[in-house]
Amino acid sequence: MARDRLRVLQVMRAPVGGLFRHVADLTRTLAERGHEVGIVVDESGDAQSDSKLAILEPFAALGIHRFPIPRLLGPQDVTTPARIRALAKSTGADILHGHGAKGGFGARLARIGRKRTGAVYTPHGGALHFDPHSLSGGLFMTIERSLLRLTDALIFESRYAQKTFAAHVAQPRGRQEVIHNGLAESEFIPISPGADAADFAFVGELRTLKGIDLIVEALAPLRTPDGRPASIVMAGDGPDAAALGERIEQLGLGERVTLAGIRPAREIFASGRCVLVPSRAESLPYVVMEAAAAGRPIIATNVGGIGEIFGPTAHSLIVPNEVAPLRDAMSAFLAAPQPLEAEAATRRDFVQSRFSLTRMVDDIEALYQSLTI
């Protein structure tokens, strides 16, 4: 018989990015449904990480535990799973759910000797970001394959992630499900840009992988129909922020590009008339879901699971890693925004029907409970 009240330990390395957003949403909602949740995270961190975890403390009845979880392989990868195993025993955990490569590593090794504790793994990209032909990538893929025998269920946040895992690691023989990430009801409230909004908006990490270099190159020659130079607000921070600033100066775009720093996504969506996501690689980016839920026009590349979010509007996705397709799409929007605005309305309805937080947690909760029967 499935248990009405579950005890779940969520294991991850670092409280950052979409992985942490997913764990935080899952933790809060499971707690609100009466389940007991604990979090295991790396002992290193900073004030921002500590602040994020502190917000989850009221929802973590089983506690927030800081163990050494290094990004690369090390001696702690022997000792930490043993500590997680002891924690699972002391808390009576029904489920160990590992997130990301190192979270999945620790959670599944901790399951050894605990036959009544289910082991669930969500890669979130994880080892899939490594080149399988490199030494480190090959090692991680070998480890992933060896851990499949300790895995009761695999959850993929996109069909893209599922296919990539099968191609790079192995085709899992056990249970696997695609459960898309989800958004709260409040995130589906439509946003309209202000009267002084820029033409475009970008929200994300300032790194070349996100196509930020392509944005400024594409923007440089663009003008609105009345001859005004096109503008953009870019929010975020990252390792390539300095290089971006230098290129903006070289192109003479200082008056046309506003670097807003780290700001809430919905605030930036209201600051631009069209959201740009010209990434070179993605899995299932929250920013695309959020922009779609807010009803904003989006120009995005056809990478990763973005097409799964775009659904019936996926035909408008552009080729990645090239300036010309991005510039053409931006120019078309400036000349006639109505087609992308109509697509945005269609896409919002699609995302609302398939990417809700309630649906995500319903499906994960049902999977957890099936492992306790």
Amino acid at 169: V
Is the pLDDT reported for residue 113 higher than 60?
yes
Task: Indicate the number of domains in the chain.
Answer: 2
Please give the C-alpha separations between residue 329 and each of 32, 277, 303, in angstroms, as whole numbers: 43, 12, 16
Residue 284 pLDDT: 94
User: Is 350 buried (19+), middle (13-18) or exposed (0-12) by CB count in 10 A?
Assistant: middle
129 located within any domain: yes
313 and 164 within one domain: no
pTM of the shown model: 0.92
201 and 347 within one domain: yes
Q: What's the order of all strands across the beta sheet hosting 95-99?
A: 64-67, 36-42, 7-11, 95-99, 118-122, 153-156, 175-178
As beta bridge partners, residue 99 has: 122
Query: Which region among 48-52, 61-65, 197-201, 234-238 has the lowest average model confidence (pLDDT)?
Result: 48-52
Kindly give the pairing relationship between strand 7-11 and strand 118-122.
unpaired
Residue 48 pLDDT: 85
Average pLDDT over residues 297-318: 98
199 and 98 within one domain: no
Q: Which structural domain, as residue segments, surrounds residue 177?
A: 7-182+356-370
Q: Are 271 and 242 in contact (CB under 8 A)?
A: no
Average pLDDT over residues 153-181: 94
The first and second tokens of residue 293, run together, are: 């839920």
Query: Which region among 43-52, 115-124, 337-346 has the lowest average model confidence (pLDDT)?
Result: 43-52
136 and 196 within one domain: no
Is the pLDDT reported for residue 129 higher than 70?
no
274 located within any domain: yes
Residue 373 pLDDT: 79
12 and 72 within one domain: yes
211 and 139 within one domain: no
Coil vs helix vs strand at 178: strand
Query: Which region among 131-135, 184-188, 287-291 has the lowest average model confidence (pLDDT)?
Result: 131-135
177 and 32 within one domain: yes
151 located within any domain: yes
Average pLDDT over residues 219-239: 98
77 and 117 within one domain: yes
- Distance of alpha carbon 300 from alpha carbon 202, whole angstroms: 11
Residue 272 pLDDT: 99
Query: Which region among 3-7, 26-30, 313-317, 327-331 has the lowest average model confidence (pLDDT)?
Result: 3-7
293 located within any domain: yes
The first and second tokens of residue 370, run together, are: 């099936």
Composition of the chain by helix, strand, coil, percent to 5 = 50, 15, 35
142 and 201 within one domain: no
Is the pLDDT reported for residue 238 higher than 60?
yes
168 and 191 within one domain: no
Is the pLDDT reported for residue 130 higher than 70?
no
86 and 24 within one domain: yes
Long-range contacts of 188-191 (CB under 8 A, 24+ apart): 188/293, 188/294, 188/348, 188/351, 188/352, 189/294, 190/294, 190/295, 190/348, 191/266, 191/269, 191/270, 191/294, 191/295, 191/296
Residue closest to 172 by CA, chosen among 190, 196, 155: 155
159 located within any domain: yes
150 and 191 within one domain: no
Kindly give the pairing relationship between strand 153-156 and strand 118-122.
parallel
The string of pLDDT tens digits covering residues 69-99 is 988 778 898 899 999 999 999 999 999 999 9
2 located within any domain: no
Residue 28's CATH number: 3.40.50.2000
Buried/exposed 164-198: b ≥16 CB within 10 Å, e otherwise: bbeebbeebeeebebbbbbbeeebbeebebeeebb
Q: What's the order of all strands across the beta sheet hosting 298-300?
A: 257-261, 232-235, 198-203, 272-277, 298-300
First-last CA distance in the chain: 5
Q: Which residue has the higher pLDDT, 109 or 45?
A: 109
Residue closest to 88 by CA, chosen among 50, 135, 37: 37
307 located within any domain: yes
Which helix H or strand E contains 321, and what residues bound it?
none
- Distance of alpha carbon 43 from alpha carbon 14, whole angstroms: 9
Is the pLDDT reported for residue 2 higher than 70?
no
Residues listed for the chain: 373
How many other CB atoms are there within 10 angstroms of residue 354's CB atom? 15
101 located within any domain: yes
The string of pLDDT tens digits covering residues 173-215 is 889 999 999 999 999 999 999 999 999 999 999 999 999 999 9
